[in-house]
Amino acid sequence: MPTNLPPEYFRAEQTFREAESSSAKIIALEEMMSTIPKHKGTDKLRAELRRKLSRLREDQQKKKGAGKHESEFHIEKEGAGRVIIIGAANVGKSSLLAAFTNALPAISEAPFSTWTPLPGMMLIDDIQIQLIDTPPLSKEIVQPELFDLIRSADLILIVVDLQATPFQQLDASLKLLNEHKIIPKQRQSTTVDERRIQFIPILVVVNKDDNDQCDEDFQVFKDLLEVELPLVPISLNSQRNFENLKKRIFESLEIIRIYSKPPGKDADMTKPFVIKKGSTLEEFAGKVHHDFQQKLKTARVWGRNVYDGQLVGKEHILHDKDIVELHL
Ligand SMILES: Nc1nc2c(ncn2[C@@H]2O[C@H](COP(=O)(O)OP(=O)(O)OP(=O)(O)O)[C@@H](O)[C@H]2O)c(=O)[nH]1
Ligand SMILES: [Mg+2]
């Protein structure tokens, strides 16, 4: 591995490793190739990437030829986390997707207007999160594929309508999840961990909290609710509490942003690496490049719990927005 590769290379490589589809992998590979400085020391790497690229292009051609049909419930993962919006009919799930992403779902006063899931990308500060709108959950129409999709979430938003029957809606959604062995992560410590149970963090979005009068209804809902799950009041129509919802989504995903700084240069503060909260310096190095975990000696860190540029060891726990200069 040549040692003078720029940070953009490693970021593109990270995107490559995380990409699931051939087309996303091809885009990331092309990006990697465009960032490699052209000289003798990088000849081998460039040849290797060219080979990978042509193999991927062949694969893609073969798939096209086979006319493979993929279900609408199969959506490629993108961005730093996947958040799935679920809930009863007409609560405002599609309105939520439309408000926070560029996607254009059908929104209508009539219930059951969404029949297939639809993804969009939501910007939270400097990171992109995948948000997915889904058809309404109902006892009558159970779509097994929908629950497979929900199982792939890093965070579930259960939307309820404050102006309708929020207690019943929340109860019904939790019941259906439970029947499909999807349990709120918040209950992990009190749930018997049987086989096939999946624990996923849940935020309850209490929508249609349009004005001060509704705020009182929200307070009553909160006081009477016996379920211990985090609640976020919002109004998609009057755009109340949008920033708070973004903040709560970011916190619930339990991720942190780390900015990589090449020695002697400024950190690129526009494109962070995203890693799990509580990760060590060593884990971060492995995320930048799998070789780095082995090669890592020490690092300088600017941010929380350190003085500026403090030298830290492999076990040092990183925090959101830390700047790290890896020394290999
Ligand atoms: N008063 C009010 N109405 C809202 C709000 N958000 C959405 N609505 C309305 O609620 C209705 C349903 O919105 P959708 O976004 O289509 O709801 P949905 O949950 O996607 O509905 P289905 O796909 O049918 O399950 C529409 O008429 C929206 O305009 C809100 O904050 N306040
Ligand atoms: Mg909808």
Domains and CATH numbers, the chain: 1-69 (1.20.58), 82-253 (3.40.50.300), 256-328 (3.10.20.30)
Instruction: Dump pLDDT digits (tens) for 149-183.
Output: 999 999 999 999 999 999 999 999 999 999 999 99
Instruction: Dump pLDDT digits (tens) for 30-85.
Output: 989 988 888 888 889 999 999 999 988 888 777 766 655 678 999 999 999 999 99
Average pLDDT over residues 197-206: 96
Q: Note the pLDDT of residue 20.
A: 77
92 lines ligand 1 (CB under 6 A): yes
Buried b (16+ CB within 10 A) or exposed e, 229-267: eebbbbbbeeebbeeebbebbbebbebbbbbbbeeeeeb
Measure 117 CA to ligand 2 centroid, in angstroms.
9
Question: Distance between CA 56 and CA 69 in Å, rounded?
Answer: 19
Q: Is the Cβ–Cβ distance between 119 and 131 less than 8 Å? A: yes
113 lines ligand 1 (CB under 6 A): yes
Question: Distance between CA 122 and CA 98 in Å, rounded?
Answer: 10
Sheet bearing 231-233, strands edge to edge: 118-124, 127-133, 82-87, 155-161, 202-207, 231-233
Q: Is the Cβ–Cβ distance between 162 and 208 less than 8 Å? A: yes
**114, amino acid identity:** T
Residue 110 CA: which ligand 1 atom is closest?
A: 24
Under the banding of pLDDT at 50, 70 and 90, the label for residue 244 is: very high
Measure 12 CA to ligand 2 centroid, in angstroms.
34
Question: Which residue's C-alpha comes closest to atom 9 of ligand 1?
Answer: 92
130 lines ligand 1 (CB under 6 A): no
Under the banding of pLDDT at 50, 70 and 90, the label for residue 127 is: very high
Question: Distance between CA 118 and CA 84 in Å, rounded?
Answer: 10
Tokens representing 315?
């076990």
Q: Note the pLDDT of residue 217.
A: 96
Q: Note the pLDDT of residue 101.
A: 95
Which helix (H) or strand (E) element contains residue 302? strand 298-302
Residue 238 CA: which ligand 1 atom is closest?
A: 31
Tokens representing 114?
């969404």
Q: Note the pLDDT of residue 68.
A: 56
* Contacts of range 246-249, beta carbons closer than 8 Å, 24 or more positions apart: 246/100, 246/122, 246/124, 248/203, 249/83, 249/122, 249/124, 249/129, 249/155, 249/157, 249/203
Under the banding of pLDDT at 50, 70 and 90, the label for residue 293 is: confident
Which helix (H) or strand (E) element contains residue 213? helix 212-224
Q: Which residues contact 134 (CB under 8 A, 6 or more apart)?
A: 84, 85, 86, 93, 114, 117, 146, 149, 150
Question: Which residue's C-alpha comes closest to atom 21 of ligand 1?
Answer: 90
Q: Note the pLDDT of residue 67.
A: 57
Q: Is the Cβ–Cβ distance between 131 and 101 less than 8 Å? A: yes
Measure 106 CA to ligand 1 centroid, in angstroms.
10
239 lines ligand 1 (CB under 6 A): no
DSSP-derived 3-state class of residue 4: coil
Question: Which residue's C-alpha comes closest to atom 14 of ligand 1?
Answer: 92
Average pLDDT over residues 174-193: 90
pTM over the 0.85 mark: no
Ligand 1 site-directed mutation target among 97, 104, 108, 239, most atoms within 8 Å of CB: 108
282 lines ligand 1 (CB under 6 A): no
Q: Which residues contact 37 (CB under 8 A, 6 or more apart)?
A: 4, 5, 6
Q: What are phi and psi of 27, to 5 degrees?
A: -60, -45
Q: Note the pLDDT of residue 70.
A: 73
Q: Which ligand is nearest to the CA of 159?
A: 1
Ligand 1 site-directed mutation target among 107, 217, 238, most atoms within 8 Å of CB: 107
Instruction: Dump pLDDT digits (tens) for 262-286.
Output: 888 898 888 899 999 999 999 999 9
Checking if the pLDDT of 136 tops 90, the result is yes
Checking if the pLDDT of 96 tops 90, the result is yes
Question: Distance between CA 306 and CA 51 in Å, rounded?
Answer: 44
